[in-house]
Amino acid sequence: MQNFGRLSHSTLLLVWSATGLTLTGCGEQRARAKFIEQVESAHGAVTWPAGQALVCDIDAQLGLNAPVQARLTCDWNSPRATAVLKDGTRVVFDGFDVWVAPESANPAFARELVMTWPWLLMAPVKLRSPYVQLLALGDLPYTGAPRPALRAQRYSHRREAGYDGYILYADPQTGQLSAQAYVAQGAAAANPDAPEAQAVTYADPVQLGSVTLATRWEFWPWRKGAGPCGDYIGFAQISNLSFAPADDALFAIPAAARRLPHADRITDP
């Protein structure tokens, strides 16, 4: 069994040019702690059962692409995830690389299935993960009324490979996560004005034990200074949620698997 250890958090500084907002030092720390506590409380994060992974079905339709249907298994204690598609194709993120089996398979949205979407699903209960760095952004514009926001930089076990960046929005009334903005996997550059910059908004929360997770996602373009906006991109429906023991075998590299080339990382929206 691999020992991945904990990752140290660096000192953080933010200058948010789009709004003129600057949060530094104690002000940023207080805002970050408040955001984390409210979201964790609203989603029951501290009640997550030890040693358990999340298992669910996902049915996604994005633009004119073919529907994606898969069974997801997402580790709570690491970035690892596995997806099994309806045709039996298996996609695994072992924390270092994305693998596809059989070797001949070329599933659409392979990286999203095991890297992006597990985070979109489990972010409210993984804010204290050692593989995530957080930075409070204060209140940012959000379809009519500003909402508390947080920047998350999510690393894999290969930290030097860079990170995927997200902006998280919380509902000021319920404390639940209401949206995330991010740059789609494989984007050539982290350009906030590129079509790859998009947001997912959350609805239909359900309880699994004492944990609350959203089961309806809608995808939209995203812009600084506006939040989710523009023409509807697509949706994802989450169903059949359950816990399962997070055995290493769930995230093992399949036999005769093909490793996908490393995508460009350091992708901040």
**CATH number reported for the structural domain that contains residue 110 in this entry:** 2.50.20.10
pLDDT in tens, 39-56: 999 999 999 999 999 999
- 5 found inside a domain: no
* Whether residue 24 has pLDDT greater than 50: yes
> Is the Cβ–Cβ distance between 68 and 239 less than 8 Å?
no
* Whether residue 10 has pLDDT greater than 70: no
Q: Which of 166-170, 229-233, 246-250, 258-262 has the lowest mean pLDDT?
A: 258-262
Task: Output the CA–CA distances (angstroms, integers) from residue 30 to 7, 33, 103, 136, in the order listed.
Answer: 22, 5, 48, 9
- 1 found inside a domain: no
pLDDT at residue number 93: 95
pLDDT in tens, 146-172: 999 999 998 876 655 567 899 999 999
Q: Residue 50 carries which side chain, given as an amino acid letter?
A: A
More confident residue, 17 or 52: 52
Helix H or strand E segment including 137: strand 132-140
Cα separation, 227 vs 180, whole angstroms:
9
Residue (of 103, 104, 110) closest to 84 by Cα position: 110
Which residue range(s) make up the domain with 43? 15-259
Length of the chain: 269
- 37 found inside a domain: yes
Q: Residue 247 carries which side chain, given as an amino acid letter?
A: D
* Whether residue 17 has pLDDT greater than 90: no
pLDDT tier, 13 (very low <50, low <70, confident <90, very high otherwise):
very low
- 265 found inside a domain: no
pLDDT at residue number 18: 36
- 83 found inside a domain: yes
* Whether residue 135 has pLDDT greater than 90: yes
What total number of domains does the chain contain? 1
- 268 found inside a domain: no
Task: Output the CA–CA distances (angstroms, integers) from residue 235 to 62, 69, 217, in the order listed.
Answer: 6, 12, 5
Q: Across residues 127-152, what is the average pLDDT?
A: 94
pTM, whole model, 2 decimals? 0.85
* Whether residue 265 has pLDDT greater than 50: yes
- 269 found inside a domain: no
- 8 found inside a domain: no
> Is the Cβ–Cβ distance between 245 and 52 less than 8 Å?
yes
The answer for residues whose C-beta is within 8 angstroms of residue 48's C-beta and 6 or more apart is 76, 125, 211
